[in-house]
Amino acid sequence: MVKEKTHVNVVIIGHVDSGKSTTTGHLVYKCGGIDQRRLEKFEKAAAQMGKSSFKFAWVLDKLKAERERGITIDISLLKFNTQKYTMTIIDAPGHRDFIKNMITGTSQADVALLVVSAAKGEFEAGVSRSGQTREHALLAYTLGVKQIIVCVNKMDLTEPPYSQKRFDEVARSVSSFLKKVGYDPATVPFVPISGWTGENMITATQRMPWFQGWKARRREGNASGRTLLEVLDSIQPPIRTINKPLRLPLQDVYKIGGVGTVPVGKIETGVLKPGMTLMFSPAKLTAEVKSIEMHHQGLQAALPGHNVGFNIKNVAVKNLRRGDVAGNAQQDPPSDVSSFEAQVIILNHPGKLKAGYSPVLDCHTAHVTCRFAELREKIDRRTGKKLEDHPQILMSGDAATVKLVPIKPMCVESFFTYPSLGRFAARDLKQTVAVGVIKSVEKDQGSKKAQVCK
């Protein structure tokens, strides 16, 4: 038995039509996630609809609705292998309407692959104030995706094709806003590719002789290479915490005939095993795990970072939903919170923000409206020093400690105990207005009476 490769979750982000699905589809096809026959089938179907350049994207856009609009709506998971890792790709949607799906996808990723289009006009649209390239990068950063890779796509459509000048211009512009977001551009590799022709994805390109290769500064020593595949191989494997109690935010809950209720999600900390008794919060249910699957293979133990589906006994699908968190009922089970204290940074709020403001908070896979109950103190966002007590208002660019109260039951944890359940983004007016980390939680005391489903 070959030693299992490390598991890495990659989320692919970027403005709509920057070529994310096509790039990903091509990668998966080249790295053995898909067979030639299926691709040919997609090619025929795409040609019939007059969209022949979409054949790779169709690998990912399995949903019929997406095929007709040509947009990725839900998060499709696919896996492929590089030399060092097994990658699960989360192709996140780029359209404004789907930002909520994109957040759910990003909160499960270890690495973000930001795809920007070098085609004339498309890049500018993606990076403009209303474009999503910035917002996605920002969300990735707040949701804790520490490593980001930039793919400059559609190099075959620059004027002239494969133009070095255009690549440099795009790379400069992207690195300046990545710096504003919080990434250090020196650690970010920039790779010119064409997702459609497959240029510089797996094998080094001949069409771009000027490209000297990408470099990235890393603590363990610098990484460099030519192709996109090499970049994916150079990422640092995420550190998984096995010794903590189990936390598994649900991404979806399915009802499967003959099997029963199957919740799906990514394990953030701890280990999940068949026979365990789980506690779901805020649903306040306990149930026993019958079996666990990942990518259609049964597992005897699922570890942090695994995207799994597991079957539970005697729980109706309607009692669980996306955003619930599963934990071990015997070991620090999760509970919903009545309020929590968080440190937030206000990003782009058009006006003044007062106590009582209630945006939608996206934390792990939950989307719940929360009220800013009190603004406790305003702090300097760089040093964390206190600037004033109980500010009346907060504006864009301010950082503050606030008390938040969810308007319906919600399960979150402090950032220090369970990092992935302690980061959030606040959305309002179809944009991200604030991001933050949770410092402490006030557990709901009335949650002792959990229903037991035998």
Q: What is the pLDDT of residue 391?
A: 93
Which helix (H) or strand (E) segment holds residue 174: the answer is helix 164-181
pLDDT value for 33: 58
Instruction: Give every residue of the chain whose pLDDT is below 50, as ranges.
Output: 1-2, 63-67, 70-76, 95-98, 447-450, 454
* Residue-level pLDDT at 63: 42
- Residues 220/236, Cβ–Cβ less than 8 Å: yes
| pLDDT for position 339 | 95
Give which of 398, 432, 441, 442 is closest to 143, Cα–Cα. Answer: 432
Q: Do 67 and 58 contact (CB within 8 A), yes or no?
A: yes
The closest of 312, 283, 314, 309 to 296, measured between CA atoms, is: 309
What pLDDT does 451 receive?
Answer: 52
Q: Is 333 exposed, middle or buried (0-12, 13-18, 19+ CB in 10 A)?
A: buried
pLDDT of amino acid 74: 44
Give the residue among 374, 360, 378, 346 at the shortest CA–CA distance from 430: 360
